[in-house]
């Protein structure tokens, strides 16, 4: 199509957390990068600070590997990318792969409802993003995937840049509100009051 529209920013993931439907579990995983510039590594990627970022220092594709201790249900990935501050370092094509280990990764279809374009691409295409990108990780039945490992691969950057900046990544798992019974969550306080003894 013609000029692709810019990728609109998504909601702040903190809002998502407050709904109580998801929980951030990045802390339960081991993070590793394919390459990084000293001082711009995993810590900066996971420090909840949008000013600091990871800067890669190798050849494409740049990879972020997230490995969990046990098979975890993952619902959403949130990536913060900002074209205005990163320009040619901003990723433009991202592929998300899941599997059991490095040899077993499979790309999953990642699309964002918020994107006007590129819904059907196998990879996530970003056009001048300016905020949080929510990447739902679902399988063909629209359920959150269960996996040991997630790999985020940056395949291309804006303006054909070599290295990439990524400011923050968060991983969310659905909260199982299984207070009792295999039912979905309650919505009213009246039910919730009686749901448990604290």
Check residue 71 for interaction with other proteins (CB under 8 A): no
Asked if residue 79 lies in contact with residue 89, where contact means CB atoms within 8 angstroms, the answer is no
Nearest to 72 by CA among 180, 194, 176: 176
- Give, in order, the Cα–Cα distances in Å from 194 to each of 24, 170, 183: 26, 33, 15
Site for other proteins in 138-157 (CB under 8 A): 142-143
Query: Among 5, 20, 122, 162, which residue interacts with other proteins (rule: CB under 8 A)?
Result: 20
Q: Does 69 bind other proteins (CB under 8 A)?
A: no
Q: What is the gyration radius of the CA atoms in the chain, in angstroms?
A: 18
**CB of residue 175 vs other proteins: minimum separation in angstroms?**
8
Cα dist from 3 to 35, 124, 180, whole Å? 33, 17, 51
162 lies in the site for other proteins, by CB under 8 A = no
CB of 17 to other proteins, least distance (A): 6
Least distance between other proteins and beta carbon 105 (Å)? 21
Report DSSP state, residue 9: P
Contact residues for other proteins, defined by CB under 8 A: 17-21, 23, 27, 113, 119-120, 142-143, 174-175, 178, 180-181, 183-198
């Amino acid at each position: 199509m013609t000029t692709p529209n810019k990728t609109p920013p998504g909601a702040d993931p903190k809002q998502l957390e407050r709904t109580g439907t998801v929980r951030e579990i990045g802390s339960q995983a081991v993070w590793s990068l394919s390459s990084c510039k000293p001082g711009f590594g995993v810590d900066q990627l996971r420090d909840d600070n949008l000013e600091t970022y990871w800067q890669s220092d190798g050849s494409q594709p740049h990879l972020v590997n997230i490995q969990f201790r046990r098979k975890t249900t993952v619902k959403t990935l949130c990536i913060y990318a900002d074209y205005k501050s990163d320009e040619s370092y901003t990723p433009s094509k991202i592929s998300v792969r899941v599997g059991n280990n490095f040899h077993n990764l499979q790309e999953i279809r990642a699309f964002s409802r918020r994107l006007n374009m590129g819904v059907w691409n196998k990879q996530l295409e970003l056009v001048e993003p300016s905020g949080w990108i929510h990447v739902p990780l679902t399988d063909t039945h629209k359920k959150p995937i269960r996996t040991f490992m997630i790999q985020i691969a940056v395949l291309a950057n804006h303006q054909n840049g070599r290295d990439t900046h990524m400011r923050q990544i968060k991983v969310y798992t659905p909260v199982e509100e299984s207070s009792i019974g295999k039912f979905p969550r309650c919505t009213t306080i009246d039910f919730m009051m009686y749901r448990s003894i604290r």
